[in-house]
A = this chain, B = another copy of it.
Amino acid sequence: MRHLKTLQCIADVATSGSIRQSAARLAITPSALTRKIQDFESELGTPIFERMPQGMRLNAAGELVLRHIRAQLADFERLRSQLADLSGVRRGHVTIAASQAFAHGLIPHEIAAYRAQHPLVSFSVLVRDHIHAVSAVAGFEADVALVIAPPPAPEFQPLLILHQPLCALMSKDHPLASARTIRLRECLQYPIAMPGPTLAIRHLLQAALVRLGLPVHTVVESDSFEILRSYASGENIISFQIRAGVPEASGNLVAREIDQRDLPPTQLVLGQLRGRSLSVAASKFVDQISSSLHSRYGDGTTG
């Protein structure tokens, strides 16, 4: 879009921190980009970048401007989506920031279901921990976020809250696999594939372990659920995952809920930036994922 091009350039330079780099990506010359920024700054009456020998960095005014630009671009996307909906076709782009727990089963499944009905809607999935997922939403980088135990933030508006038990992941031949729910103590009699410290459930586990004073035999620690799953399915190792993060068809992997006396249910929250109105495409995707989660796991409360 013509009238947004300058804004996009500025946003790009702000994130890359380099004019030459952005110029290459935007397929223009550095000189043109420099002048675009200079013109914008002079129109605004204030510099928005600090010129460092290493490149460009936003100053305080620039942070404000960047936020404004992101909002403008997102709002324009919303307009396009609304216009497309007017003519009967749903069109648009949805960016969702999700905890890694959902990157394997839930998110691709929901996106596939949505795109089956609305093939002109495209998606971006940002895998972020709960902190960064919330700030992605706050910074207009993502439309919505699906996270575990989000940090309390006034600008993050929950659209759906589920309370989910943590599950132990294990091979279906595992001695514990016959039980319906198991105690944390039982798990710890086996080697553990421990979620890394960037994963939200790590902290929940940690807190419970400290509280119960139980020793842990960690054989592997990883930030990747992919890794954890493969360990859990291969040996008699146990790993952990939130209920909704357990893939439906998971080979010889089974999930058993941890007794809630050991680990209280965890909040699973789907949310957006407070006060922001989503595009039609995004808003309908929220509806779908909400009703899907709600019907599958119940206990949903909208707020």
Measuring CB to CB, which residues of chain A are less than 8 angstroms from any residue of chain B? 1-4, 6-7, 39, 43-46, 60-61, 64-65, 68, 71-72, 75-76, 78-80, 82-83, 86-87, 275-277
Whether B83 and A61, one on each chain, are in contact in the complex, defined by CB atoms closer than 8 angstroms, is yes
Number of copies: 2
Q: Which 3 A-B pairs rank lowest in CB-CB distance, beginning with the nearest?
A: A275-B275, A68-B79, A3-B3
Q: Nearest-CB distance from A42 to chain B (Å)?
A: 11
Known: A61-B86, A86-B60, A275-B277. A1 touches B43 (CB 8 A): yes
With a cutoff of 8 Å between Cβ atoms, the chain B residues found around residue A275 in the complex are: 275-277
A2 to B39, CA, bound (A): 10
A43 to B2, CA, bound (A): 8
Known: A71-B75, A72-B75, A277-B275. A83 touches B6 (CB 8 A): no
Whether B83 and A76, one on each chain, are in contact in the complex, defined by CB atoms closer than 8 angstroms, is no
Residue in A71, A79, A275 with the greatest tally of chain B CB atoms within 10 Å:
A79
A277 closest partner in B (C-beta): B275
19 CB contacts below 8 A, A to B, read A1-B43, A2-B43, A3-B3, A3-B7, A44-B83, A46-B83, A46-B86, A46-B87, A61-B86, A64-B83, A64-B86, A65-B79, A65-B83, A68-B76, A68-B79, A71-B75, A72-B75, A75-B75, A275-B275
Known: A64-B82, A275-B275. A4 touches B2 (CB 8 A): no
With a cutoff of 8 Å between Cβ atoms, the chain B residues found around residue A1 in the complex are: 43
A72 to B73, CA, bound (A): 10
Q: Nearest-CB distance from A1 to chain B (Å)?
A: 6
A43 to B4, CA, bound (A): 12
Which of B45, B72, B86 has a CB less than 8 Å from the CB of A72? B72
